Amino acid sequence: MLGESRRAAFGLGADKRLARKADFERLLREGARRTRSGYVFFVSTRAAGPPRLGILVTRKHAARATVRNRIKRCIREAFRLEQAALGTLDVLVRPPLGARPGVAMLERLRELFSGLSQ
């Protein structure tokens, strides 16, 4: 019971993720493309609802799956911490090739996410 409430309070639920292929394609086709510090953001506004996140990380970004997963964790955590300021945006993030997961990446992504809503 305790673990479930913590997950709900601190997790990134399904309502805040872009999961369908059609959503990814719509953002890639119609979203506003913003490039900041090598990160590419595809952004689109919606009428209502929480901000939603999609992540594009391929083997070109990192050959090892563990590194790709750590990159995705950093992106999700930065989004989770900055989601209150994003409003009703759908955001698709593609990190730069050779990005290294860590504290520096997390801090930089937080700055970039906070600047997206402006």
Mean pLDDT over 81-106 rounds to: 90
d(CA 46, CA 21): 17
pLDDT grade for 114, boundaries at 50, 70 and 90: confident
Residue 78 in this model has a pLDDT that exceeds 60: yes
The CATH code for residues 2-116 is 3.30.230.10
Q: Give the mean model confidence (pLDDT) for residues 45-55.
A: 89
The mean-pLDDT minimum among 9-18, 23-32, 78-87, 97-106 falls in 9-18
Average pLDDT over residues 94-111: 92
Contacts of 112 (CB under 8 A, 6+ apart): 36, 37, 39, 41, 78
Give the confidence band of 47 by pLDDT, cuts at 50, 70, 90.
Answer: confident
> Residue 113 burial (CB < 10 Å; 0-12/13-18/19+)?
buried
